[in-house]
Amino acid sequence: MELRRKKLDIDKKKEAKGKQKDIDIRLEKETKLYWVRAITGAVCALVGRLIGFVGWLLLIWMLFFWFVFPFFASFIIFQFKYDKEEWNWKNIIMPGVGMYFFLFMIVSTILHTLLIMIDYPLTITIFGLI
C-alpha cells in the first residue's frame, strides 16, 4: 500500500512539472503588468515634465497612461491570451496601480523641483506657455 502511494506521488510530480497551472500563468501575467506599470509611472512623469506639462495637463497625461497603456502593453506588446469567460478589465487595470501612482508622484515632484532650481524655460499649462 505504501509503495503504491509513493508511485502515485511520483506520477503526479511528473505531470505537474510538464504543465503550468492556470494560477501560475495568471500570476506571471500580473507580475509582468505590475513591473511595466512601475516603469511606465516613472517614465511618464519624466517625459511629461520634460515636455513642460504642469498642473492639469500633467494630470491628463498621467491619467492617459494610467488607463490606456496597460491595454496596449497587454494586447500589443505581450500579446496575452485571455479566456473569454474569465476576462475582466480589472485584470489589466489593477496590477501596479499604487506603484504607478507612487513612482509618478515621486519622479515628477523631484524633477519639477530640479527644473525650477535650474530655471528650465519650458512650462505648459492649460492656459498656454508660462
What pLDDT shows up at residue 109?
A: 94
DSSP the chain: -HHHHHHHHHHHHHHHHHS--HHHHHHHHHHHHHHHHHHHHHHHHHHHHHHTB-THHHHHHHHHHHHTHHHHIIIIIS-----TTT--THHHHSTTHHHHHHHHHHHHHHHHHHHHHTT-S--EETTEE-
Query: Domain segments of the chain: what residues?
Result: 22-129
Lowest mean pLDDT among 19-23, 98-102, 115-119: 19-23
Q: What is the mean pLDDT of the chain?
A: 81
